[in-house]
A and B are shown apart, each in its own frame.
Chain A
Amino acid sequence: MRFMMIVKATTDSEAGVMPSQELIDAIQKYNEELVKAGVLLAADGLQPSSSGIRISYPEPGGKPKVVDGPFTEAKEIIAGYTLIEVKSKEEAIEWALRMPDPHGFGQGEIELRQVSEIGDIMDNPDSLAKEAALRNQLEEQKRA
């Protein structure tokens, strides 16, 4: 199963302040560990939101509203992500805990989210079985 570890922005990352050498080294070492465990799929850092735009749809069915960055509320902004493939949620949590503190001086935040894989037979045998049972039930109802 895949998980995305989302690193939230901090005042520094939004201001475009380069991370300290210490943090860069820690991240490199961590990424190496992920690779050596065969779990790293992809990882990227994003530019500050000042170069980003937001597209919103305030009116249902209406025209999109485009707003230029920067955006406020650093914690709602994503600064980077790491995508991993692991065997269990617990393993994902363990990797997320080992990720270095993003040095936000109190603002550091990492969010762990599972990537949804619809119809993924390898991850969710239960729901697949449930779905099959439901389908059988419907078939029988049709026949009756």
Chain B
Amino acid sequence: MNGSHTERTIDAICRMESAKLIAGLIRMVRDVGLAEDLVQDALVIALERWPESGIPENPGAWLMTTAKRRAIDNIRRTKLRDQKYVEIAHSMDLFTEEDIDQVLDGEIGDDLLRLIFMTCHPVLSQDARVALTLRLLCGLTTDEIARSFLVAESTIAQRIVRAKKTLKTEKVPFEMPDGEELKDRLSTVLEVIYLMFNEGYSATSGNQWIRPLLCQEALRLGRILAEITPLESEVHGLVALMEIQSSRLKTRVDSKGEPVLLMDQNRAQWDQLLIRRGLAALDRSRKLGRPLGPYSLQAAISACHAQAPTAVETDWPRIAALYEALSRVAPSPIVELNRAVAISMAFGPSFGLQIIDNLNAEPSLKDYHLLPSVRGDLLVKLGRYAEARTEFERAASMTRNERERALLLNRAADCMSRTSDKYF
């Protein structure tokens, strides 16, 4: 970061306030792009004035008032020439002092919720939803988003411009969906947040220090959402899942940058504060919804690991049962593969192997290296080294991750030496 102390302070305030400002302004001007421009204008004015005048007592209110004045100036200048400004003029009566107070005090939550429903709207592509949410709700710059996703800044900038255009041409309203629609739309929002989180969490390559930013932003957004939609059990479920997974962020990679498997991680270094927060969120979800939804179930699985003092004390029968429940509410071959692992840990490798052998015909797992990798692992446990070696080699040929490939080839070689032991 560069610039003077005041500039950095202004930058921090802008990041804190921008989502609220944008949400409040969209309610008035009904246009995402225009609202964002107005906020940008207000920030530029703040950057000009605050270094001399000092930072006002309530910077959020100052910025909102300034943005509002810009909106009115804008209308006067263009003299209601085109339709866009006529529309704004119609909403002029919304520009009252009470309105601003409301925006600043009471209804922020609802406006933020409307905004997130907008940035995660189904008319947008998945990529666009993520980029627009990071930009408007998390206040990240296009450069930060680009670095997080390892793509060019121009790509992200274009994606955001196009997304805003789509919201406009499709006339996506700034409103709260209700009834059945609310449930569907909320699940889209959760999907976007979890996608964001996973992008940061499962980063195996690239700029290793900026990507955790995505985890933090997703978690922050999840916590906000849980506060403004306290009755949605899956929101708490997702927050629980992210809190618990975040508790292991620092133990997932060793000092050389090599990934460390869950069972091998130093549990003393897991962040107990985040685990406690995760368990509390899971508790809230349990109290609200029965049966548990997919995020809450995954959080419950994650909680089993978090609560085991050592890897050998893991409650595998419970994890196997939770995967069973998960495979009913959200069936997928990957969940099935995880269930196989849990079952083999709980009841022995031969039971897990049965499930995996049923998955071998699954087309979606055709190129999934973890299938042969897990199968190899179970075969080793059963002492079937020759077969295990073939599986590890197959898995090694499928993975795109160099470190993983080396690890798998090592295991294959290990199996080979054990097979030859038998003959000597």
Q: In the assembly, what is the distance between CA of A41 and CA of B223, in Å?
A: 10
Bound CA–CA A16/B109 (angstroms) = 36
**Could you say which residues of chain A place their CB within 8 Å of the CB of B250?**
117, 119-121
| A121/B212 in contact, CB under 8 A | yes
The one of A36, A91, A120 in contact with B15, judged by C-beta atoms closer than 8 angstroms, is A91
Docked-complex contact B209 and A91, CB < 8 angstroms: no
Number of chain B interface residues as a range = 20 to 34
Q: Most chain-B CB neighbours within 10 Å: which of A37, A39, A88, A120?
A: A37
Report which of B209, B221, B223 forms a contact with A121, defined as CB distance below 8 A. Answer: B209
Instruction: Indicate if the CB atoms of A90 and B212 lie closer than 8 Å.
Output: no
Query: Bound complex: CA of A87 vs CA of B11, how far in Å?
Result: 11
Q: Find chain B residues with CB under 8 A from A117 CB.
A: 250
| Residue interface mask B1-28, A partner, CB < 8 A = 1 | 1000100110111011000000000000
Q: Write the A91-131 contact mask toward B (1 if CB under 8 angstroms, else 0).
A: 10110000000000000000000000101111001001000
Q: How many residues of A contact B (CB 8 A)?
A: 22
Query: Judging by beta carbons under 8 Å apart, are B9 and A94 in contact?
Result: yes
Docked CA distance A89–B66 (Å): 26
Residue among A36, A83, A117 with the most chain B CB within 10 A?
A: A36
In the bound complex, what is the Cα–Cα distance between A67 and B78 (angstroms)?
74
Q: Does A15 contact B (CB under 8 A)?
A: no
Residues of chain B within 8 A of A94, CB atoms compared: 9, 12-13, 16
Interface 0/1 of A56-90, CB less than 8 Å to B: 00000000000000000000000000010101101
Residues in chain B near residue A36, CB distance under 8 A: 108-109, 224, 227-228
Within 8 A of A (CB), among B365-385: none
Contacts of A35 on B, CB cut-off 8 Å? Answer: 223, 227
Nearest A residue to B10, CB-CB: A90
A35-B223, A91-B15 known; A41+B212 contact, CB < 8 A? no
Provide the residues of chain B in CB contact with A85, threshold 8 Å.
216, 220
The answer on a CB contact under 8 Å between B224 and A88 is: no
Task: Report which residue of B11, B209, B213, B224 has the largest number of chain A beta carbons within 10 angstroms of its beta carbon.
Answer: B209
B19 — nearest CB in chain A belongs to which residue?
Answer: A37
Q: Is A38's beta carbon under 8 Å from chain B?
A: yes
* Chain A contacts for B11, CB-based, 8 A: 88, 90
- CB-nearest residue of chain A to B112: A36
Q: Is the CB of B216 within 8 A of A37?
A: no
Is A134 located at the chain interface by the 8 A CB criterion?
no
Chain B residues 213-250 with CB under 8 Å of chain A are: 213, 216, 219-224, 227-228, 249-250
In the assembled complex, the Cα of A83 lies from the Cα of B219 at a distance in Å of 16
Interface SS majority for chain B: helix
Q: State which residues 193-214 of B face A: CB under 8 Å.
A: 208-209, 212-213
Please determine whether A37 and B224 come into contact, CB atoms closer than 8 angstroms.
yes
A117 to chain B, nearest CB (A): 8
Collect the chain A residues with CB atoms within 8 Å of residue B228's CB: 36
Judged by a CB distance under 8 angstroms, whether A43 is at the interface is: no
Name, among A35, A38, A39, A83, the residue most crowded by chain B CB atoms within 10 Å (CB to CB). A38
A41 with B224, Cβ < 8 A, contacts A91-B12, A128-B209 known = no
Q: What chain A residues lie within 8 Å of B253 (beta carbons)? A: 121
**A88–B208 touching, CB < 8 Å:** no
Cα–Cα distance between A122 and B219 once the two chains are bound (Å) = 14
In the bound assembly, the distance between CA atoms of A24 and B216 in angstroms comes to 30
Confirm or deny: B273 has a beta carbon within 8 angstroms of a beta carbon on chain A: yes
- CB atoms of A125 and B224 under 8 A apart: no
Does B277 sit at the interface, judged by CB under 8 A?
A: yes
Interfacial chain B residues near A128, Cβ < 8 Å: 209
**Chain A positions within 8 Å of B9 at CB level:** 90, 93-94
Given contacts A88-B1, A121-B208, 5 further A-B contacts (CB under 8 A): A35-B223, A90-B5, A90-B9, A90-B12, A122-B209
Interface residues, chain B, with chain A CB atoms under 8 Å away: 1, 5, 8-9, 11-13, 15-16, 108-109, 208-209, 212-213, 216, 219-224, 227-228, 249-250, 253, 255, 273, 277
A residues contacting B by CB (< 8 A) are: 35-39, 41-42, 83, 85, 87-88, 90-91, 93-94, 117, 119-122, 125, 128
Task: Give me the 10 closest cross-chain CB pairs, A-B, nearest first.
Answer: A90-B12, A38-B220, A122-B212, A38-B223, A38-B224, A91-B12, A125-B209, A90-B8, A90-B9, A35-B227
